[in-house]
């Protein structure tokens, strides 16, 4: 619907609840709910049928379940049965675990479940999350290596993100995850991504009316693509498992824009050209050609824009959405592009230039 190429779902968040019938906790969708269906299993099958990559969010350093020596014990958690946990929660919502308690959780639940997820569902990537000083306290270099070693042993393709420890991630992570809704203005040596929201909330919030416009969401996507980054857009379903109309409209509009301009995003990389004041540029090499996609955000139809540093004979230039030819004038230090008057009717138009 939205032109997305992969699906990331929360397999286990900090509350410890699991969306699959794990053998290492009875706090799961099969045993603790009337739904009694393997959500991850059904999703994995659907993704394979649709050719979508699949990833699992897994909270590896927080777990409020409280069973089996797990981590943070919530005072009112029905699964927090340890007397010590109850006693220590008098003055705060939770207490930090000791290293021995965390190690028990780490070995008995976290590592065991990660192996289970890979063995049973063969995900393309795992998305871990951590932040703050406690990230260094519990996600030590040794534990990061232990987790990554396990993943590498079980899969030769499952990727790991940098928020395995946000403060000091292992050099062995495969890609970088920025802070939430953070859109950098630079490239990075490793593949990278931004995780963003449609409004202010990650989960469904019926009183969150601060919806980001479709135009802005597309700009976030293109901006990241122009710097070699990915945009991971979050959608929070309602308690009924549905998407709100505001979310559906934006997703469909993004999908429609990608339907005609998708090649300017998919498979592109950061542009070697200097930044331009009127938009962004993405780039790819294809069949011996250099292809530049000029994303026009601030334009005056009928005027001309200058692309500095673009050299070589322009073999073809056109508006990607309509196929309308675009005139180009090559000068010593770049190219002038004459913008058609008809661009006035396009939303975030893209000019494709083949060199």
Farthest CA pair distance, the chain: 77
Q: What are the boundaries of each domain within the chain?
A: 6-264, 271-354
- Band of pLDDT at residue 299, cut at 50, 70 and 90: confident
HSE-CB at 27 with a 13 A cutoff on CA atoms is 20
The pLDDT of residue 132 is 82
Q: pLDDT tens digits for 101-122?
A: 899 999 999 999 999 999 999 9
Taking the model in full, what pTM does it have?
0.90
> Cα-flanking dihedrals φ and ψ of residue 28, to 5°?
-145, 170
Copy the structure tokens of residue 259.
């339907």
CATH superfamily label, 6-264: Glycosidases (3.20.20.80)
Question: Strands 176-177, 192-197: parallel, antiparallel or unpaired by DSSP?
Answer: parallel
Segment 253-268 shows an average pLDDT of 97
The pLDDT of residue 91 is 44
- Band of pLDDT at residue 79, cut at 50, 70 and 90: very low
Topology of the domain comprising 271-354? Immunoglobulin-like (2.60.40)
Same fold, 6-264 and 271-354: no
CA distances from 37 to 28, 34, 242 (A): 10, 9, 17
Q: pLDDT tens digits for 158-206?
A: 999 999 999 999 999 999 999 999 999 999 999 999 999 999 999 999 9
Q: pLDDT tens digits for 13-64?
A: 999 999 999 999 999 999 999 999 999 999 999 999 999 999 999 999 999 8
- Band of pLDDT at residue 74, cut at 50, 70 and 90: very low
Strands of the chain, DSSP E = 6-12, 53-58, 125-127, 159-160, 176-177, 192-197, 229-234, 269-270, 279-286, 289-296, 304-308, 316-319, 328-331, 334-338, 350-354
HSE-CB at 78 with a 13 A cutoff on CA atoms is 4
The pLDDT of residue 93 is 56
Helix (H, G, I), strand (E, B) or coil at 285: strand
């Amino acid at each position: 619907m939205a032109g997305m190429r992969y699906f990331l779902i929360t397999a286990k968040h900090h509350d410890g609840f699991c969306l699959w019938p794990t053998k290492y906790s009875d706090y799961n969708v099969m045993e603790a709910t009337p739904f009694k269906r393997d959500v991850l299993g059904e999703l994995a099958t659907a993704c394979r049928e649709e050719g979508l990559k699949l990833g699992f969010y897994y909270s590896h350093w927080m777990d409020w379940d409280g069973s089996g020596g797990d981590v943070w014990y919530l005072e009112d958690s029905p699964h927090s049965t340890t007397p010590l946990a109850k006693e220590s929660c008098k003055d705060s919502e939770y207490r930090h675990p000791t290293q021995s308690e965390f190690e028990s959780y780490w070995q008995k639940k976290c590592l065991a479940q990660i192996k289970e997820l890979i063995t049973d569902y063969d995900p393309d990537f795992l998305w871990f999350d951590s932040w703050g000083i406690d990230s260094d306290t519990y996600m030590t270099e040794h534990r990061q290596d232990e987790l990554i070693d396990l993943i590498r042993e079980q899969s030769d393709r499952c990727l790991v993100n940098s928020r395995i420890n946000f403060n000091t991630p292992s050099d062995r992570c495969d890609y970088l995850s920025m802070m939430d809704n953070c859109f950098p203005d630079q490239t990075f040596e490793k593949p990278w991504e931004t995780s963003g929201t449609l409004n202010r909330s990650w989960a469904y919030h019926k009183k969150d009316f601060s919806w980001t416009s479709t135009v802005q969401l597309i700009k976030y996507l293109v901006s990241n693509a122009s710097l070699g980054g990915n945009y991971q857009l979050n959608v929070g379903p309602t308690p009924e498992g549905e998407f709100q109309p505001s979310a559906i409209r934006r997703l469909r509009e993004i999908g429609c824009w990608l339907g005609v301009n998708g090649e300017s995003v998919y498979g592109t990389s950061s542009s070697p050209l200097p930044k331009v004041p009127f938009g962004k540029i993405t780039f790819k090499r294809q069949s011996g050609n250099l292809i530049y996609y000029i994303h026009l955000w601030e334009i005056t139809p009928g005027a001309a824009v200058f692309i500095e540093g673009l050299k070589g004979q322009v073999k073809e230039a056109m508006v990607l959405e309509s196929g309308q030819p675009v005139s180009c004038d090559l000068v010593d230090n770049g190219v002038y592009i004459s913008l058609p008057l008809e661009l006035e009717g396009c939303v975030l138009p893209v000019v494709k230039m083949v060199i």
